[in-house]
Structure 1
Amino acid sequence: MIVNAQEISEPRTYVDRILEHWNTDEDAEALVQGTQRLTRGEARRELFRLGHALRGQGLAPGDGVGLFLANRVDSVLVQLAVHLIGCRVVFLPPEPGPGELAALVEQSRARAVVTDPLFAGRAADAAGRSVHAPALLSLGPCEQQCTDLLALAAKCPHARPDGVPAPGADEAVTVFYTGGTLGRPKLAAHTHWLYDTLVDLVTDSAQDAGPTFFPTMDPSTDRVLAATLLTHGSGHLTSIQALVTGSTLVVLPEFEAGAALTVLREERITATMFVPPMLYAVLDHPDCRPGVLPALRRIVVGGAATSPSRLQQAVEVFGPVLSQAYGQSEALGITAFAAEELASEGPRRPELWRSCGRAIPGVQIEIRGEDSAEALPVRQVGEVCVHGETVMLGYYEDPERTAAALHDGWLRTGDMGYLDAEGYLYLVDRAKDIIVTGHTSDNVYSRVLEDFLLTLPGVRNAAALGVPDEEYGEAVQIFLAAAEGADIDPEAVGVAVTAELGELYRPRKTVLLDQLPTTKVGKVDKKALRAAWTSSAGFIEQ
């Protein structure tokens, strides 16, 4: 095989690392989604064609490109193509309403928006509200006035685009949406140092330096499933860590427990990442039983707090393959808990099932009090603060909120937790989710309550909220999803909670649901629960 010398130059970016693999063993499988299966050679050529097609729309290095995409192989390639030509990736998530989506496009200064045809109407509306008038491109034909990027790419050369400068040390190359209010989204901007760190975390050199997300991978055998959204930090992390190691990346278009089990089994998946509700749904599926996934070596669980009892159930079903990870859009990697460590230490130290692990290489963690730069003592609850190369550059075009979140390179995460003497981190709540209740206005940590509720017979999922209360300011209200055929007695639940956690945690109300609402990334949607409770629509209060 003859390849262009430019294609095998010294790696400068993570895309170069991927191309090192895609330039060798061209017939090996690289990307899979159902019947669509691309070899390394095919993936490389399509990546280069997409890069030329994007350049043909007038995009230059440093320009922002909004990606409003579903989970598909073409979405993976277009994201790589944006970085290949030196542009800035701006991930546009599916959750925001029209106003916030339009604000996100405007604030990110996107010169173009690439949309899945399914989302083209919403993308056109958002782009149309922007004074920057971004070009609207679609991954395939659609009914809106979009330019078909795939059709353009089919006519482009498959040689690598040249003349791309290396990204600057303080240049934002990827922007993640973190949510906002009143039309002011927060956009966490990251530099290329994030990707350099991710590369290190999945190479041999980092394996003995501390806990990592995935074990050392073998590109000849490893097959990684991207089950969460590719435009979310969890899906992006999973896909990048697979591709930079040369592993095959399999994309799950939409999560459903039965479909996920089928893909895990038939595609011989060796590693994947789930958010907790996804893991729970798989465990509750009737086809999920010990030995059903013999190829699986690693399930990373992250994105939200995970029930210790559910983690132990997963180990019983899948074996010692469960890893925990903790991060957020502002710091994509913070802690990890290797599967081997959890399996070996968990039986001896049961409290570790509640931990999300220790700091990954290159990251420092301190627990600090409110408005304090001083670290708190071991086991004292405070705000989790993080320093390291996975921490964002700042909020894009938002110096005021950047100054509030970052102090001397330290990020205040908004998560509450504590460290033990060995450096294991335990999260107890989001700062904004703490329920302040009782005659003395004490703190109720929803994570602690939810973990206990998930140990009760018949409870499949649980969420706790603070709701307005005239006497106590806030009262504890819980929402429970029951297992099929289970008969949950709310009064008995309250008695059990009080006996285990004390009167402060006793729920004033219990709401029984068939299932808890989730966001597009699979987390329990507490905003939806709160809104539905306020309107009293669709709930059976007990």
Structure 2
Amino acid sequence: MIINTQGAEPGTAPGEGSEAARGTFRPRTYVDHVLEHWNRDEDTEALVQGAERLTRGQARRRLFGLGHALRRQGLGPGDGVGLFLANRVDSVLVQLAVHLIGCRVVFLPPEPGPGELAALVEQSGARAVVTDPLFAERAADAAVRSVHAPALLSLGPCARQCPDLLALAAECPDERPDAVPAPGADEAVTVLYTGGTLGRPKLAAHSHRLYDTLVDLAQEDQQDSGPGFFPPMTPGTDRVLAATLLTHGSGHLTSIQALVTGAALVVLPEFEPGAALSVLREERVTATMFVPPMLYGLLDHPECVPGALPALRRIVVGGAACSPRRLQQAVDVFGPVLSQGYGQSEALGITAFGAADLASGAARRPELWSSCGRAISGVEIEIRAEGGTAALPAGQVGEVCVKGETVMLGYHRDPERTAAALHDGWLRTGDVGRLDAEGHLYLVDRAKDIIVTGSTSDNVYSRVLEDFLLTLPGVRDAAALGVPDEEYGEAVHVFLATAGNTDVDPAEVGAAVTAELGDLYTPRGTTLLDRLPTTKVGKVDKKALRAAWSAPAG
């Protein structure tokens, strides 16, 4: 933690009161780093989304108004605030405002259906939920289902009878709210959804140490000595595009990297290749992050040709495995600007492969196109045998285990699953991989059975889907797999063991899944069986199911 020991309190605009004037100091937060930039060159653009363009001064004042508005709703340090938001400029500001007043951010992604969303809100213990007007009906339903009934706030006018947070903020002072005590070392400040079983979600909780590390990494990148997430930034000149969801780890990290370095953040409301290409070109974007299907969609667009995006200096690819062939194609089109990264909700940064290292290394060793890079600064990686604690030698395959400041505190309000995932500071990622002699990590499978699919490479959690399938009439057993798919990398395929003399209609199954869990979980294929194969210990044998699915017919 960096301590400010001279001058005015970071993030205090000229003419405002400060803790320095009162002879007291508090630790700097990442929000202070953002405000240090927003207090200078006030007419420089800070946040952009289409026609909405906020200067640094406008962004700072709106942020402070939102902080006051949240406080006037009775929210204080340590309270959880659920954010059920679309990609908007104001979504970025609300997230900053929640941290500014010492509350805990609880990201509520838009994928879960009503049952899982309600369980997520309940598990998080959020005192309030801020919803995008587009999601207001779903948010209200989740709040009603929750036992502790959090307050509902809308980010703009909506059909529901709930306070409009933007209207409330417009009536509040545009000076910084009073300072709050610094969070404790083991206090959760951000919580991300990372799956779980139906009705019992897992929420990865992170402390302020994550943000301290992100600031340090950004400063390393500024000196061109870091892991290569983004090129060195020039405040007031560089422009970063947030194309993935702001309520997911990838979008959150992209926005934080941009804001703490003083770059302008351009928010893409929804990804469509033609629209994304236009924004990249017209906004002179210098850096962005894409999941593989986004990159593929861009590469397949007829206007995406060499020289089309001269300002672009870095594309970070992550969120799912990327085809080595497509990575090489991207370098042919955009030049040596591609970086790769690996992380998960439980450890938001694990490895990175800088653009220069990837380009030069792959020319020497083509297999490096399949690597997701080496450990970032401050992170240790070991490959361990199942249930083991000793590191395996280079080249051997096992579970990826990591340790460092980007690793979560644990699963929020879930000590049992925390104990299973964390031991002596080491996180069992559930991913299977190997390290080469130079420390490059290669992922070979996902032990957690997460299916990564959809146009934005979102997660489908097999256990959640399987639990719901078992509630349907005539379904005796169920298993969900991710199978190869040309468009999305993986598609959801379900195997159902049906009760005797019972007809199960796959179309009706798909409709029921969509209604309860959302479009992302809708099976693209269904196989009906008399029974599912099992291992010797009685678990469903998904390897056998995968082999049966891929075996040629006849």
TM-score, normalising length from structure 2? 0.80
**What residue number does 1:454 align with?**
none
SS in 2 for 1:216: coil
Matched, 1:533 2:526: yes
**What residue number does 1:2 align with?**
14
1:387-428 Cα distance to aligned partner (Å, 9 max, x none) = 000000000000000001001100000111000000000011
**1:336 equivalent among 352, 360, 368:** 352
Q: Spell out the pairing of 1:183-332 with structure 2 (5 A cutoff).
A: 183-204=199-220, 207=223, 210-332=226-348
Q: Spell out the pairing of 1:45-124 with structure 2 (5 A cutoff).
A: 45-124=61-140
Distance 2:144 2:297 in 1: 39
Query: Aligned in 2, Cα 1:196/1:482: closer, same or farther, shift over 3 Å?
Result: closer
**What residue number does 1:416 align with?**
432
Structure 1 residue 431: deviation in Å? Answer: 1.2
Structure 1 residue 214: deviation in Å? Answer: 1.2
**What residue number does 1:178 align with?**
194
Distance 2:487 2:252 in 1: 30
**What residue number does 1:437 align with?**
none
Conserved 8 A contact 2:222-2:231 = no
**2:39 equivalent among 4, 17, 23:** 23
Distance 2:352 2:298 in 1: 22
Structure 1 residue 475: deviation in Å? Answer: 11
Distance 1:342 1:284 in 2: 22
Distance 2:110 2:481 in 1: 32
SS in 1 for 2:153: strand
1:286-306 Cα distance to aligned partner (Å, 9 max, x none) = 111000000000000001111
**What residue number does 2:157 align with?**
141
**What residue number does 1:40 align with?**
56
Query: Aligned in 2, Cα 1:481/1:44: closer, same or farther, shift over 3 Å?
Result: closer
Structure 1 residue 181: deviation in Å? Answer: 1.4
Instruction: Name the amino acid aligned to 2:121.
Output: V
Structure 1 residue 334: deviation in Å? Answer: 0.2
SS in 2 for 1:147: coil
Query: Aligned in 2, Cα 1:2/1:163: closer, same or farther, shift over 3 Å?
Result: closer
Distance 1:474 1:119 in 2: 28
Query: Aligned in 2, Cα 1:477/1:19: closer, same or farther, shift over 3 Å?
Result: closer
Distance 2:527 2:313 in 1: 44
Query: Aligned in 2, Cα 1:149/1:535: closer, same or farther, shift over 3 Å?
Result: farther
1:55-105 Cα distance to aligned partner (Å, 9 max, x none) = 000001000000000000000000000000000000001111111100110
Structure 1 residue 193: deviation in Å? Answer: 0.3
SS in 1 for 2:252: helix
Distance 2:482 2:122 in 1: 39
Query: Aligned in 2, Cα 1:374/1:259: closer, same or farther, shift over 3 Å?
Result: same
Structure 1 residue 215: deviation in Å? Answer: 2.1
Structure 1 residue 145: deviation in Å? Answer: 2.0
Identity %: 77
Instruction: Name the amino acid aligned to 2:525.
Output: A
The answer to which of 10-19 and 41-50 deviates more is 10-19
**What residue number does 2:176 align with?**
160
Distance 1:185 1:157 in 2: 38
Instruction: Name the amino acid aligned to 2:215.
Output: V
Query: Aligned in 2, Cα 1:182/1:475: closer, same or farther, shift over 3 Å?
Result: closer
Instruction: Name the amino acid aligned to 1:3.
Output: G
Conserved 8 A contact 1:419-1:426 = yes
Structure 1 residue 528: deviation in Å? Answer: 4.2
Distance 2:48 2:102 in 1: 26
Instruction: Name the amino acid aligned to 1:381.
Output: V
Distance 2:130 2:364 in 1: 50
Matched, 1:480 2:479: no
Q: Spell out the pairing of 1:419-430 with structure 2 (5 A cutoff).
A: 419-430=435-446
1:359-410 Cα distance to aligned partner (Å, 9 max, x none) = 0000000000101001111111100000000000000000000001001100
1:267-301 Cα distance to aligned partner (Å, 9 max, x none) = 00000000011000100111110000000000000
Conserved 8 A contact 1:206-1:361 = no
Aligned positions, number = 465
Distance 1:246 1:333 in 2: 21
Query: Aligned in 2, Cα 1:366/1:289: closer, same or farther, shift over 3 Å?
Result: same
Matched, 1:132 2:125: no
Distance 1:104 1:56 in 2: 25
Distance 1:16 1:122 in 2: 34
SS in 1 for 2:363: coil
Structure 1 residue 432: deviation in Å? Answer: 3.9
Conserved 8 A contact 1:274-1:300 = yes
Query: Aligned in 2, Cα 1:381/1:207: closer, same or farther, shift over 3 Å?
Result: farther
Q: CA RMSD in A?
A: 2.8
Instruction: Name the amino acid aligned to 2:14.
Output: I
SS in 2 for 1:6: coil
Distance 1:152 1:47 in 2: 12
Structure 1 residue 429: deviation in Å? Answer: 1.1
Distance 2:109 2:480 in 1: 32
1:117-174 Cα distance to aligned partner (Å, 9 max, x none) = 0000000000111121211000111111221000100100001100411111111000
Instruction: Name the amino acid aligned to 1:533.
Output: T
The answer to which of 6-15 and 62-71 deviates more is 6-15
Instruction: Name the amino acid aligned to 1:107.
Output: Q
The answer to which of 113-122 and 474-483 deviates more is 474-483
Conserved 8 A contact 2:291-2:319 = yes
**What residue number does 1:441 align with?**
none
1:238-292 Cα distance to aligned partner (Å, 9 max, x none) = 0001000010000000000110000000000000000011000100111110000
Query: Aligned in 2, Cα 1:375/1:86: closer, same or farther, shift over 3 Å?
Result: same
SS in 2 for 1:203: helix
Structure 1 residue 474: deviation in Å? Answer: 12
**What residue number does 1:13 align with?**
29
Find runs of 4+ consecutive structure 1 residues off by over 3 angstroms. 7-11, 204-210, 473-483
Query: Aligned in 2, Cα 1:24/1:351: closer, same or farther, shift over 3 Å?
Result: same
Instruction: Name the amino acid aligned to 1:317.
Output: V
Distance 1:413 1:7 in 2: 41
Instruction: Name the amino acid aligned to 2:486.
Output: L
Q: Spell out the pairing of 1:482-497 with structure 2 (5 A cutoff).
A: none
**What residue number does 1:501 align with?**
none
Distance 1:257 1:311 in 2: 17
**What residue number does 1:150 align with?**
166
Conserved 8 A contact 2:228-2:339 = no
Conserved 8 A contact 1:100-1:185 = yes
Conserved 8 A contact 1:90-1:108 = yes
Structure 1 residue 207: deviation in Å? Answer: 4.8
Unaligned runs of 5+ in 1: 435-445, 451-464, 466-472, 484-518
Matched, 1:360 2:376: yes
1:16-58 Cα distance to aligned partner (Å, 9 max, x none) = 0000000111000000000000000000000000000000000
